[in-house]
Structures are given as structure tokens and as C-alpha cells.
């Protein structure tokens, strides 16, 4: 069931978002192409993958059988249509407004499904966080649609950072941190987020989005820096407090889990810490913070934190969801190396020529292509083995 959503998500990333990102790194992209890149990554990749994986994870969280619902094919159709309309917006901008609205409508329907799927009382906190995170994604799509409709298909660029904060921080990051409340033990032994921090996380992310909105509405520039700092500090706090770097018997607890995925997960933890530190530097610089620094901070969140978790979780979930050994298991090592190189190059972009920035985009695409390969090509029979 998740395969169709996952294939659409990775196709959006690898065939649309990543090539546009490489093009943007060379400074050649138009505003429409930049907005399409963001839409392909945030809605085409993250949001679509969330919808697909949720159909398998949430029933397991609630102890129910995994099955498709009447809403499932409609969600898939709406997400495909929305992505095609965003692409058509390059030639006819009003089409992108309809595409954004389609994303918003599909995700709003999905939010209602999430709320119903997590109704057992012990899941009350998880239910609230995941439903709220889905509404942030839906609201981002609706806001973008309104901005585009108001501008004849071309949104007011001042408010697009708010759209992205709603989708990336409130939506994608909220979902990842929410899922890790229960799925964290896949990567970390004795993973446990303190209850007070679990309750505070949705509020912290909502405040981060609000600060981005204040900056977009003409408030002080420092508000945007504070938004980045709070989002990354929240992610780092959850990872640290849950025990990702706590040593047990002289070893990092993540080593008690499947080592390749644990290493990829550690990239997410390191990126959260690095991003939080750099965001504090940017916050201190305020309006003087160079654009390269703020761009690096946001890519640490999008690629280093969220991307690493998605890659690690995809490798871990394929055997579980499909009931077969992981195909092409050595690709986990390739994904790890490419991801680390991409994060390092993107973080150091302010001191590197454009060619290196473009290379970081190519390496990120390679990292995401590795788990995608397991969704497209079957495992070779001659090399079949448990991983």
C-alpha cells in the first residue's frame, strides 16, 4: 500500500526537487523554479511519504490491522494531480495555485484520518501531535494557494518563508518527532522522550512557525533567525533527552540496533546539534547574518535531520512492511557516505565555489536514491541474504 506513495515521493525528490536544487546552487534558477523546488521537496516528497508510511505505522501503533481505506486511492490521486499542477505552473502560473490547493485539501482530509486512526486513549499525545502536524502541512498548502491566487499565480515572495516554515517545521519536523516518540527504539536502545518534553514539542514548533510569520509580516529580521534556532533546538533536545548520545556499557546505545541505519540516524542527531549551534550564531548576527549561513542552517534541518531520519527509517521499514530481506543492503553504506558529504559541503557552502555547492545537491540525490532503489528494483536472487 505504501509503495505507490513512496514511489511518488522519491520520484518527486529525484526527478524534480533534486535537479532543481542543483540548478539553484549554480545561481541560474528563476523564482518560479525555486518555488517549484520547495513544493516538490516539502509536499511532493515529505508530505507524500508521510501519507504513505502512515497507512502502515498508525494501525500498528493502535493495534489494528493494516488495510487500505476508501480514502487511500483518493489521497494518492489528489497528490499526483497536485504535483502535476505545480509542474504545469512553470508554464502557466495559475496552475500552481490549484496544485497547492489540491495539496492542502488532500492533507486536510488526511488529518481527519490521522485523528480517527489514533483514537485509543494511550495515544492521546501522539494523536494530537500528528494531527496538528498534518494540519500545518495542509495550512501551508492553502496559504500558498491563496498567495498565488491573489498574485495571479505568482505569490508574494515575502510570505513564502512562512509557507515553508509551516510545512517544514510545523509539518515535516512535527511528524518526524512525533513518530519517533514510539519508533525511536528502532535506532536507540532505551529510547524515551521525557513526557514534559513530548508535551512541549508541538508548542515549541508552533512558536517557531509563529516567529517565521512575524518576520514575514514585516517584524524584526531576528525573528526569522529565532525561528530557525527554536526549531533546531527542539529537534536537538528531543534527540539528546531521549538518549541518542547517552553511553551504556561504554558504547553509544544506537550501536545496539542495526548498525548501518543507526549510523545514518546519528547523522540526524549531529545535524540537529550543528544546526542548533549555527542558528545561535545567526541569531547573534541578526540582520547581518549572511544568506549562505541561513541557507546552510535550513538545509541542515531539511537534509541533515529530516532527510537522514527518512533514509534510515526507509531502510528499516522495507523489510518490515514487505516481509522480505532488505534489497541491495550495501546501498546503506553508500547512502551514509553520500549524505555526510552532502551535509558537510552544504554547510560549508559560504566558503566554497558554486561547483561544490552543486556537488552537494548531487550527493544528496545519491543518498536518497539508495533507499529508493529498494522500492523500484527487486533484490537480486543470487545475492539474497538477511541484513
Angstrom distance (rounded) from CA 51 to CA 219 = 34
Report angle CA 372, 347, 157 to the nearest 5 degrees: 85
Do residues 339 and 202 share a domain?
yes
- Give the pLDDT of residue 259: 76
Q: Is residue 229 part of a domain?
A: yes
Do residues 229 and 313 share a domain?
yes
All cell numbers assigned to 99: 496544485
- Give the pLDDT of residue 183: 82
Task: List Cα–Cα distances, 327 to 54, 186, 343, in angstroms.
Answer: 22, 19, 25
Angstrom distance (rounded) from CA 71 to CA 61 = 20
C-alpha dihedral (178, 180, 182, 187), degrees to nearest 10:
180
- Give the pLDDT of residue 258: 65
Angstrom distance (rounded) from CA 161 to CA 169 = 11
Q: CA-based Rg of the chain, rounded to a whole angstrom?
A: 20
Do residues 16 and 119 share a domain?
yes
Whether 215 and 165 have beta carbons less than 8 Å apart is answered as no
Report the number of distinct structural domains present in the chain.
2
Q: Please, where are the H alpha helices in 44-173?
A: 48-62, 71-88, 93-117, 124-150, 160-165
Do residues 227 and 340 share a domain?
yes
- CA dihedral sign of residues 326, 5, 157, 235: negative
Q: Of 167, 4, 171, give the one whose Cα is nearest residue 72.
A: 4
Do residues 90 and 10 share a domain?
yes
Angstrom distance (rounded) from CA 28 to CA 22 = 10
CA distance from start to end of the chain: 23
Do residues 113 and 252 share a domain?
no
- Give the pLDDT of residue 64: 87
Angstrom distance (rounded) from CA 239 to CA 193 = 8
Do residues 160 and 71 share a domain?
no
Q: Is residue 58 part of a domain?
A: yes
Do residues 343 and 235 share a domain?
yes
Domain interval for residue 274: 156-387
Do residues 160 and 121 share a domain?
no
- Give the pLDDT of residue 135: 98
Angstrom distance (rounded) from CA 59 to CA 267 = 29
pLDDT tens-digit profile, the chain (387 residues): 678 999 999 999 999 999 998 888 777 778 899 999 999 999 999 999 999 999 989 998 998 888 878 899 999 999 999 999 999 999 999 999 999 999 999 999 999 999 999 999 999 999 999 999 999 999 999 999 999 999 999 999 999 999 999 999 999 999 999 999 888 887 777 788 999 999 999 999 999 999 999 999 999 989 999 999 999 999 999 998 987 766 554 443 443 446 788 889 999 999 999 999 999 999 998 878 888 899 899 999 999 999 999 999 999 888 877 777 777 889 999 999 999 999 999 898 777 776 787 899 999 999 999 999 987 765 544 443 333
Q: What is the DSSP string of 182-232?
A: HHGGGTSTT----HHHHHHHHHHHHHHHHHHHHHHTT--THHHHHHHHHHH
- Give the pLDDT of residue 354: 67
All cell numbers assigned to 86: 505545480
Q: Is residue 132 part of a domain?
A: no
Do residues 196 and 101 share a domain?
no
All cell numbers assigned to 241: 533527552
Whether 273 and 345 have beta carbons less than 8 Å apart is answered as no
Do residues 362 and 222 share a domain?
yes
- Give the pLDDT of residue 1: 67
Do residues 165 and 121 share a domain?
no
Angstrom distance (rounded) from CA 249 to CA 257 = 15
Angstrom distance (rounded) from CA 376 to CA 152 = 39
All cell numbers assigned to 171: 509539518
- Give the pLDDT of residue 378: 54
C-alpha dihedral (75, 81, 82, 88), degrees to nearest 10:
170
All cell numbers assigned to 36: 517549484
**166-184 b/e with 16+ CB inside 10 Å = b?**
bbbbbbbbbbbbbbbbebb
Task: List Cα–Cα distances, 170 to 166, 196, 203, 215, 232, in angstroms.
Answer: 5, 19, 10, 16, 12
The percent helix, strand, coil of the chain (3-state, each to 5) is 80, 0, 20
Q: Is residue 141 part of a domain?
A: no
- Give the pLDDT of residue 357: 79
Q: Is residue 119 part of a domain?
A: yes
- pTM of the complete model: 0.92
Amino acid at each position: 500500500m505504501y509503495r505507490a506513495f513512496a514511489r511518488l515521493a522519491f520520484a518527486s525528490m529525484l526527478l524534480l526537487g533534486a535537479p532543481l536544487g542543483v540548478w539553484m546552487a549554480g545561481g541560474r534558477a528563476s523564482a518560479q523554479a525555486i518555488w517549484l523546488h520547495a513544493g516538490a521537496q516539502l509536499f511532493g516528497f515529505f508530505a507524500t511519504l508521510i501519507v504513505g508510511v502512515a497507512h502502515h505505522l498508525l494501525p500498528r501503533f493502535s493495534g489494528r490491522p493494516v488495510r487500505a481505506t476508501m480514502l487511500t486511492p483518493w489521497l494518492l490521486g489528489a497528490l499526483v494531480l497536485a504535483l502535476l499542477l505545480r509542474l504545469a505552473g512553470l508554464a502557466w502560473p495559475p496552475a500552481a495555485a490549484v496544485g497547492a490547493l489540491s495539496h492542502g485539501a488532500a492533507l486536510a482530509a488526511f488529518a481527519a484520518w490521522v485523528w480517527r486512526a489514533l483514537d485509543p486513549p494511550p495515544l492521546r499525545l501522539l494523536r494530537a501531535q500528528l494531527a496538528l502536524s498534518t494540519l500545518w502541512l495542509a495550512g501551508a498548502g492553502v496559504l500558498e494557494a491563496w498567495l498565488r491566487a491573489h498574485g495571479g499565480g505568482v505569490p508574494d515572495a515575502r510570505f513564502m518563508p512562512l509557507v515553508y516554515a509551516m510545512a517544514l517545521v510545523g509539518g515535516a519536523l512535527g511528524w518526524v518527532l512525533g513518530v519517533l516518540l514510539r519508533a525511536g527504539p528502532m535506532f536507540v536502545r532505551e529510547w524515551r522522550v521525557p513526557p514534559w518534553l513530548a508535551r512541549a514539542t508541538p508548542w515549541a514548533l508552533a512558536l517557531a512557525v509563529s516567529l517565521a510569520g512575524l518576520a514575514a509580516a514585516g517584524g524584526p529580521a531576528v525573528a526569522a533567525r529565532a525561528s530557525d534556532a527554536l526549531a533546531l533546538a527542539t529537534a536537538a533536545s528531543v534527540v539528546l533527552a531521549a538518549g541518542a548520545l547517552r553511553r551504556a556499557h561504554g558504547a553509544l546505545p544506537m550501536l545496539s540496533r542495526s548498525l548501518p541505519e543507526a549510523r545514518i540516524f546519528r547523522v540526524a542527531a549531529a545535524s540537529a546539534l550543528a544546526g542548533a549551534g549555527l542558528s545561535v550564531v545567526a541569531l547573534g548576527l541578526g540582520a547581518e547574518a549572511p544568506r549562505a549561513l541561513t541557507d546552510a542552517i535550513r538545509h541542515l534541518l531539511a537534509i541533515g535531520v529530516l532527510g537522514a531520519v527518512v533514509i534510515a527509517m526507509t531502510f528499516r521499514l522495507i523489510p518490515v512492511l514487505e516481509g522480505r530481506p532488505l534489497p541491495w543492503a550495501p546501498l546503506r553504506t553508500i547512502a551514509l557516505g553520500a549524505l555526510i558529504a552532502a551535509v558537510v559541503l552544504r554547510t560549508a557552502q559560504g566558503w566554497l565555489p558554486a561547483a561544490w555547492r552543486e556537488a552537494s545537491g548531487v550527493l544528496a540525490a545519491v543518498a536518497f536514491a539508495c533507499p529508493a532503489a529498494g522500492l523500484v528494483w527487486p533484490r537480486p536472487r543470487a545475492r539474497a541474504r538477511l541484513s
